[in-house]
Structure 1
Amino acid sequence: MASPFFTFIQYLKYRSRGLNAHDLHSPFVFELYNKVIRKNVKEQESALRKLRKQIANSDTQIDYQDPKTGERWQTTVRKLASRVASRHSFSYFLFKLINHQQYETVLETGTSIGLNTLYMAQSQASSIWTLEGSPEIARIAKGHFEVMAHAHIHQVTGQVRDTFVPSLREAQPDLIFLDADHRSETITFYLDAIQKYSPDTQCIIIHDIHWSHDMSNSWKTIVDDPAYSLTIDLFQAGIIFPHHPMKKQHFVLKF
């Protein structure tokens, strides 16, 4: 379960450990920090912020059932976005990372209203797969995708635990962004499936790694796993480069 106090304490620890460019001795991580995390292009940011405003400020009503709890909710797109959507800085980071690493195929769990999906669709990636458990929310996102005319977005609706493996096997993504279910057991399920069905995936991003004790412990297990040669903590998310040709290393980077 999420704990704002726990997350706040974790953030203070993160800030005390976070490194910047002057502290980095890995050429790959140094370049990633300067050309992806810190680099901002005004024209890009302006266009993406405009897109975000167009999508996230809608007062369209949504009546949906939470696919994990079965509870029904009534809200608006605006309120849902304010509660669950990533901040612009993180969505923009996804866009920059895809372009910098030249990833062609991306798979995302947890479409929500489609904000991160649309940011990634603006990148050079030729195929974006996105999975959403709520049919009602998926319909809202689909409307956004159609308005933006992004034909290369492949939307999959249904319980993510059921659709993940079939989508993974078909997509064979370069980048996987996990943002649908913030529980350690689900993260373990995802990672095991990736190793089995998409072993060539180059990058895995796990959102909300400090959202709860459970997620924090899950992330620590991943960091300690020798199977993952390079891991990076941005606080909002953890990044795994499972096949990076370097001795096992972990970095905490200021974001």
Structure 2
Amino acid sequence: MDINCFFYRAGSFLKYFFKSGYWKGHRIHSPFVFYVVSELLFEKTPFYAFKKTDAARNMLLKSKERITVKTLGAPSVDQRSTKKVKKLVEQGSIPARYGKFIFRLINHFGLKNILELGTGTGLGTLYLALPDSHNKITSIEGNPQLHRVAANLFETVGVNNVNLIHGTFERVLPDVLANTEKLDFVFFDGNHQLEPTLQYFEMCLSKSHNESIFVFDDIHWSQEMEEAWEMIIANPRVTVSLDLFRLGVVFFRKECTKQHFVIRY
């Protein structure tokens, strides 16, 4: 356990807590942002697909399989070289409430062409794939054992619209983007370092459009990730951004006034 890393994240959460506001959309004057926060972020109506994601999470939490974790990006707080799948889900997989928010974003805005950088166990990928079986999801994972775990999960759940690619982002991403006309949604969930995060953002930005949505996981993971987040939301193409502590969400809608919201969630 990296104690310095732990205390840094604890301090980041305290800063976020006291800075955050706009709970359930209160005091948000932008109609677009008010809808996203009040109707999508805090929506409680369950979708049938959530039964599948909840069942998949429970299945992974019962797994006794242990895999080698070769970190390709920033190290985890828990730096053991091998971990149980259960521990990976507990420590790293996206919590259900955030995953369901991503699901609602994709479902509501009809986002079809989706890219995920960092498949992990595949649990987070389900929230990208299940809104519509016709959606096209490309997910890249550099760890071969995690790639196998995710592939098995998709087969078990019956998800057939994920193109799961094994390889590093540096090697695979250029070819993926070269064969992609546009990106409607990108989930950045790997290599939590400043320069790579900004590099992948700029690369994907070339395929974005007015209705695209980019979501970044662990924006308060480290000082580097916080710096990357600040640079991302300062980009002239980004108009609206939401800081949910765990996730950072950016929109590119030209009809919206550039604003940054720290939402207590």
Question: Does the C-alpha gap of structure 1 residues 250 and 68 become closer, same or farther in structure 2, counting only changes over 3 Å?
Answer: closer
Unaligned runs of 5+ in 1: none
Deviations 1:106-162 (A, max 9, x none): 111110110000122211261111110011110111111111221111101011121
Equivalences for 1:136-155 in 2 at 5 Å? 136-155=145-164
2:35 corresponds to which residue?
A: 31
Tell me whether 1:80 sits opposite 2:88 in the alignment: yes
Residue pair 2:184, 2:208 contacting (<8 A) in 1 also:
no
* Structure 1 position 72, deviation (Å): 8.5
Q: In structure 1, what is the Cα distance between the partners aligned to 2:108 and 2:249?
A: 15
2:65 corresponds to which residue?
A: 60
AA at the equivalent of 2:33: V
Equivalences for 1:182-221 in 2 at 5 Å? 182-196=192-206, 198-200=207-209, 202-221=212-231
Residue pair 2:198, 2:232 contacting (<8 A) in 1 also:
no
Equivalences for 1:98-247 in 2 at 5 Å? 98-124=106-132, 126-171=135-180, 172-196=182-206, 198-200=207-209, 202-247=212-257
Please say which of residues 184-193 and 166-175 is displaced more in the overlay.
166-175
Please say which of residues 186-195 and 221-230 is displaced more in the overlay.
221-230
Tell me whether 1:250 sits opposite 2:250 in the alignment: no
Unaligned runs of 5+ in 2: none
Q: In structure 2, what is the Cα distance between the partners aligned to 1:104 and 1:64?
A: 31
Please say which of residues 95-104 and 12-21 is displaced more in the overlay.
12-21
Paired residue secondary structure (2:179)? helix
TM-score, normalised by the number of residues in structure 2: 0.88
Count of residue pairs brought into register by the alignment: 254
Question: Does the C-alpha gap of structure 1 residues 66 and 216 become closer, same or farther in structure 2, counting only changes over 3 Å?
Answer: closer
TM-score, normalised by the number of residues in structure 1: 0.91
Q: In structure 1, what is the Cα distance between the partners aligned to 2:230 and 2:159?
A: 37
Give the aligned CA root-mean-square deviation in angstroms. 2.2
Q: Percent same amino acid at aligned positions? A: 27
